[in-house]
Structure 1
């Protein structure tokens, strides 16, 4: 069972309505599915989770990138423009300060190491993240997790995801009403 399904079992408490959806590793599906998910659920926050073979920690991605998509997806497709949204900003940052989330979770004694990255890898994870950040005015996050058992179990990762998401929601609550600059200058 994936860490996202384990998180669904754990839940986020009575105050938070958690919806879990699987997004295929396909550029065109991302372009059609994400707008309908945002429209259907009207979420306060969307947190994407992807497995990275290179990750050894739970990695919080700070921003999504618009250009540089050259690898073929699971349907052997790649955007001709090599970008996510023609005319869109090069980079969109999450409204959430990932460094703060990282510090808080790491100091909570959870037993799972968390780090921050500013490059989600210019493949479907980055593409999905950028699309979601664009659609949600920055109210999105992307978390890369290591493969199961390397070194964490699905249960460990679910506990870490739960802690991360709750910290993100807490930060969003604290920052209500503050103006955010989403696009890098």
Structure 2
């Protein structure tokens, strides 16, 4: 097993926007912070304003500061009824104005970057494992994070981390889950993600050893 003690785990969540005066994603992340991820994982959380330019500066600074094993971004979706694991981030199609009434002129995250970047995490596997654990919170997988700040942040993070990022969309509070439910779901999901990463690192190490 690869020790996680020397690594950081960063969880980012978004602040209020639009009709979401209380952002369920930030409430869920606060609950996760209370629960923790076990003694071997150094968990850092931060709240992100719903602004393209802030994301463009903040995401690289987090990677530079913490050198995390994994960054998990959490956002709220008014359309979601399940906790949704996003498989990939998209580079183009950002036309919606942010909280500062700003939108990138290029309407893309990284000029010249690939159209789509997948997470190294197998989201289908995470979904199956968490569902089988009897958590009591429905989990699903999506290929479209919505072409707004969530998607923009996810793509930017995936690009910088070579895929070592994840994005989780949560439904608004009470529709149907409480903040505590969402916190428990995040804990279970992230623990599975770290386990999968650990297994992948171990496999790579073994392959290098035998060559």
Residues 137-166 of structure 1: per-residue CA shift (max 9 Å, x gap): 100000000001110000000000000000
2:31 matched residue in structure 1 = 6
1:127 partnered with 2:152: yes
Q: What is the SS of the residue equivalent to 1:5?
A: helix
User: Given the alignment, which residue of 141, 151, 155 partners 2:180?
Assistant: 155
Shift, 1:14, TM fit: 0.2
The whole-number CA distance in structure 2 between the counterparts of 1:24 and 1:38 is 17
Shift, 1:23, TM fit: 1.1
Shift, 1:51, TM fit: 0.4
Structure 2 unmatched ranges of 5 or more: 1-25, 205-211
Structure with the higher strand share, 1 or 2: 2
1:170 matched residue in structure 2 = 195
The whole-number CA distance in structure 1 between the counterparts of 2:55 and 2:150 is 10
1:92 partnered with 2:117: yes
Q: What is the SS of the residue equivalent to 2:48?
A: coil
Structure 1 unmatched ranges of 5 or more: 179-185
1:118 partnered with 2:129: no
2:129 matched residue in structure 1 = 104
1:39 partnered with 2:39: no
1:30 matched residue in structure 2 = 55
Q: What is the SS of the residue equivalent to 1:21?
A: strand
Q: What is the SS of the residue equivalent to 2:43?
A: coil
Higher relative contact order (CA 8 A, sep 6+): 1
1:146 partnered with 2:171: yes
Tell me which stretches of 4 or more aligned residues in structure 1 moved more than 2 Å. none
The whole-number CA distance in structure 2 between the counterparts of 1:12 and 1:143 is 16
The whole-number CA distance in structure 2 between the counterparts of 1:174 and 1:12 is 17
